Amino acid sequence: MSEHSRSNATFKNYAISLGILVGIVLIMAFVVSTRSGEHIPSVDYRPDIDVLSGAADYPVTAPSPDLTEEGWTPTSSTLNVSGPVEWSVGFATADDSHAMLTQSDADPEQVVADRVKEAEEAGTVAVGGREWEHFDSEEWGALVLREDGVTVVVSGSAELDELTHLAEGLETRPAAAGGEDAEGTEAD
């Protein structure tokens, strides 16, 4: 009889297969655990504020730098100075939602329609001593402030408290005279 037993060969193959599978699972667990920290790309929107201050005929409203210290990450900044002047800056909020500030001297009804999406008017919200129009839907919310010559919209998938927090953190710079950059002052 042979020293080679069929039962020993089966157990050996089983142990090798199990070892390989455990190794694969451990490698996958390591890869997943090292990639769990989400990296959100950040943009610097301050140069757009400077350009906007020189191009806009209205006081420029910008987010406070304190937002980034509170965990808000600026993710996009879009500026259009040809035709109606419009600036939008998007944020990933501290609670992992999205909020965007838009200001424009275009037709207020068009600006609101573009930024409010399908949300319905839900009343007003007092922010910084001003009444903002509140729009709300299941997936989207917005706060709208219509001022002389400019419409300011804070919108996004974020909850109302986060949209309000962004609106509270806005600072208004006076309109620049002759293209000079004006110092920031806090919004009322």
Q: Are residues 91 and 146 in the same domain?
A: yes
Looking up residue 173, the CATH number of its domain turns out to be 3.30.200.100
pLDDT at 79: 95
pLDDT at 182: 38
pLDDT at 37: 59
Number of domains in the chain: 2
Q: How far apart are CA 163 and CA 101, in angstroms?
A: 9
| Structural domain boundaries, residue 33 | 1-37
Q: How far apart are CA 131 and CA 151, in angstroms?
A: 13
Q: How far apart are CA 78 and CA 18, in angstroms?
A: 54
pLDDT at 174: 73
Q: Are residues 51 and 3 in the same domain?
A: no
Mean pLDDT by 10 residues, the chain (188 residues): 63 87 89 67 90 89 87 92 92 90 94 91 92 94 93 94 93 63 40
Q: Are residues 4 and 75 in the same domain?
A: no
Q: Are residues 13 and 61 in the same domain?
A: no
pLDDT at 183: 39
pLDDT at 100: 95
Q: Are residues 61 and 121 in the same domain?
A: yes
pLDDT at 180: 41
pLDDT at 184: 39
Q: Could you give the C-alpha distances from 25 to 15, 18, 33, 34, 94, in angstroms and in order?
A: 15, 11, 12, 14, 33
Q: Are residues 4 and 31 in the same domain?
A: yes
